């Protein structure tokens, strides 16, 4: 019995060491490295393993929680930043992608579930011109405060999502969503509203 309790204590200590202390230390090193490259990172925001091509284009607010595998891809030539502005107390799940040419902002207290994609530009489809030579029109994306995006939501160029809105998993958002509305589907459409009680 004592051996089992001892083994349990050793496993718990190993878990704390591996997943808490080492992870926090690595996140602190990563945060320092990205700050040296121009990324703005608020207090109490720790960085897991992420991909960033232009760190100076990213501004993260205070006390944000980011999971691993997020890709911040500024998809344009170098210019002063930031072009990706994320508010305070925002959660971003694993595997999210920010493919930005223009600008994206996410308001305070928003929840972005795993696998969401934000793409603020698209591709021209003019006939007679090869796809590789088409213009790529862009327009900023704006996500309000206290918004919840379910898993694998895709938000396209020019979309504005109002405060308190909810977007169902797997939706493709192509139009403006008003505050407190609930949208779902491909393409996304309104299916309800959140009501204050």
Give 152-165 pLDDT, tens digit per residue: 999 999 999 999 99
Instruction: Output 11 or 81, whichever has higher pLDDT.
Output: 81
Q: What percent of the chain is predicted at pLDDT more than 90?
A: 68
C-alpha dihedral (126, 128, 133, 137), degrees to nearest 10: -10
pLDDT value of position 17: 62
The pLDDT of residue 1 is above 50: no
ω before 141 within 30° of 0 (cis)? no
pLDDT at 80: 86
The CA-CA-CA angle for residues 84, 88, 91, to 5°, reads: 80
Q: What would the pLDDT profile of 19-78 be if each residue is shown by its tens digit?
A: 667 777 888 888 989 999 999 999 999 889 999 999 999 999 999 999 999 999 998 777
Per residue in 100-122, pLDDT (tens digit) is 999 999 999 999 999 999 999 98
Q: Which two tokens stand for residue 111?
A: 């929840």
pLDDT for 194 beyond 50: yes
8 A C-beta contact, residue 92 and residue 69: no
Tell me the pLDDT band of 6, cut-offs 50, 70 and 90. Answer: low
Say how far apart CA 177 and CA 179 lie, in whole Å.
Answer: 7
Catalytic residues: 123
**Using an 8 Å Cβ cutoff, are 37 and 55 in contact?**
yes
Query: Rg (Cα) of the chain, in Å, rounded?
Result: 20
pLDDT of residue 37: 92
What long-range pairs does 84-88 form, CB within 8 A, spacing at least 24? 84/57, 84/58, 84/59, 85/59, 86/58, 86/59, 86/60, 86/61, 87/61, 87/145, 88/42, 88/61, 88/62, 88/63, 88/64
CB 30 within 8 A of CB 37: no
Interatomic CA distance for residues 163 and 110, integer angstroms? 9
């Amino acid at each position: 019995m004592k051996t089992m309790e001892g083994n349990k204590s050793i496993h718990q200590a190993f878990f704390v060491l591996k997943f808490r202390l080492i992870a926090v230390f690595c996140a602190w090193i990563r945060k320092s490295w990205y700050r040296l490259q121009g990324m703005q990172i608020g207090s109490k925001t720790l960085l897991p393993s992420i991909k960033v091509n232009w760190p100076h284009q990213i501004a993260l607010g205070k006390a944000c929680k980011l999971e691993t595998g997020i890709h911040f891809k500024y998809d344009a030539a170098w210019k002063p930043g930031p072009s990706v502005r994320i508010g305070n107390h925002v959660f971003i799940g694993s595997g999210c992608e920010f493919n930005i040419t223009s600008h994206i902002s996410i308001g305070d207290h928003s929840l972005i579930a795993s696998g969401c994609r934000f793409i603020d530009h698209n591709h021209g489809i003019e006939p007679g011109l090869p796809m590789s030579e088409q213009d790529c029109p862009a327009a900023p994306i704006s996500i309000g405060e206290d918004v919840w995006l379910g898993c694998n939501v895709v938000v396209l160029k020019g979309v504005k999502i109002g405060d308190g809105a909810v977007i169902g998993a797997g939706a493709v958002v192509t139009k403006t969503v008003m505050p407190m509305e609930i949208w779902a589907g491909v393409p996304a459409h309104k299916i309800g509203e959140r009501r204050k009680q």
